[in-house]
Amino acid sequence: MAMAACLVWGGPKPLPPLRSIGDPFKDVRFDGMPALQTFTARDGTPLAYRRYDPAGQGNGRGSVMLVHGSSGNSNSVHPLAQSFLEAGYTVYAFDIRGHGQSGVKGQVGYIGQLDDDLEDFVGAAQPARPRTLLGFSSGGGFALRVAGSPRGAQFDNFLFMAPYIHYKAMTNRSGASAAWASVGLARLVSLVLLNRVGVPTFNDLPVLNFAVAENPKADLVRQYSYALAVSFQPPDGYRAAIRSIARPAEVMAGADDELFFADQYRPLLDEAGRPDIPVTVVPATGHISLTLSPAGRAAAVAAVQRMDAPFELAWAACPVPWRSTAPGAAHTCFCVPPPARSST
């Protein structure tokens, strides 16, 4: 009876809009934003994304895939996408399932479905290499989830911008995070216990409410189901996930981030055994402005260019007829000599 009561009445409370999250977008211009396209996921659902193509450069310098933060959609990373486009990259900006025009808002079909969706996208679109998966905020946590799993091999680099790590992580400002997301703790705990014994029946119940304003044009998500909340973040064993990252990766944060402690990413990575993963702290920059400000966007482009450098050097040294971007060629000049001509 107690668990049933928690499931029914233990949901998240509504929150007033958090101005530090919403206000920075008031001055953003969305002209030049490409139309939405779709790919079909393995369950038959059309999922939306935007593709930015560098003019006259084919696949350009490679590709960058952008994962928005909690409640958002592909619109919210448009300024960042433009910066990468101007630097010569092909850019893909997703409406992650449960957001924007992808599926039912606030819902996924099962825990881990977002990982499957990303794999389906890469298989369908075959983004140019080198491939970078870039995630912001909760999207950064999702990118970390992917990077620390076997599916990280689909990508050549990872950039985590102000990533959400875990509610117990040293980077988390608990008070500020509570102002952005209300957690239905009683319901959440009940669902955790049910899933531990193999009962996912109620995973569609909402466990998070976000402090977003009513704005139909913004197309924001107000609630996350348990399944979406768990899918769009690192695993509870986030330290092990960080240790398992096998591709080049960097972390960025704004010095004035309102939700996370920017100066705690470095010790967190060190504690997880990854002192080799660089951390860039952008001065005079907040959480949302990390993806909107010229300084934040320039730092993101510079980080990807640094990670791409070994790939580009090897590629330049490879004779043009021998070049291959076959799967597995990440950060390697995959030189394939042409077959010898017959002497006859």
Retrieve residue 136's tokens: 């912001």
Distance CA 52, CA 90 (A): 6
Instruction: Specify the CATH number for the domain of residue 185.
Output: 3.40.50.1820
Question: pLDDT tens digits, residue range 135-179?
Answer: 999 999 999 999 999 999 999 999 999 999 999 999 999 888 889
Tell me whether residue 343 is in a domain: no
The mean pLDDT value of the chain amounts to 90
What is the model's pLDDT at position 341?
44
What is the model's pLDDT at position 186?
95
Tell me whether residue 336 is in a domain: no
pTM: 0.90
Whole-number percent of the chain with pLDDT over 70: 89
Distance CA 84, CA 92 (A): 10
Q: Is the pLDDT of residue 323 over 90?
A: no
Tell me whether residue 341 is in a domain: no
Residue with more model confidence, 2 or 227: 227
Domain count along the chain = 1
Taking CA atoms, 344 is separated from 337, 340, 341, in Å, by 20, 12, 9
Tell me whether residue 186 is in a domain: yes
What is the model's pLDDT at position 339?
46
Question: pLDDT tens digits, residue range 83-114?
Answer: 999 999 999 999 999 999 999 999 999 999 99
Are 68 and 51 in contact by the 8 Å Cβ rule? The answer is no
Tell me whether residue 96 is in a domain: yes
Tell me whether residue 329 is in a domain: no
Tell me whether residue 288 is in a domain: yes
Q: Which range of residues forms the domain containing residue 158?
A: 2-322
Tell me whether residue 205 is in a domain: yes
Q: Is 58 exposed, middle or buried (0-12, 13-18, 19+ CB in 10 A)?
A: exposed
**Quick count: other Cβ atoms within 10 Å of Cβ 104?**
13
Categorize the per-residue pLDDT at 312 as very low, low, confident or very high, splitting at 50, 70 and 90.
Answer: confident
> Which residues are within 8 A (CB) of 14 and not within 5 positions of it... i.e. 6 or more apart?
182, 209
- Helix 113-125 to helix 138-147 angle (10° resolution) is 80
**Quick count: other Cβ atoms within 10 Å of Cβ 326?**
8
What is the model's pLDDT at position 38?
98
Residue 12, phi then psi, degrees to nearest 5 = -75, 150
Residue 19, phi then psi, degrees to nearest 5 = -65, -35
Distance CA 47, CA 40 (A): 6
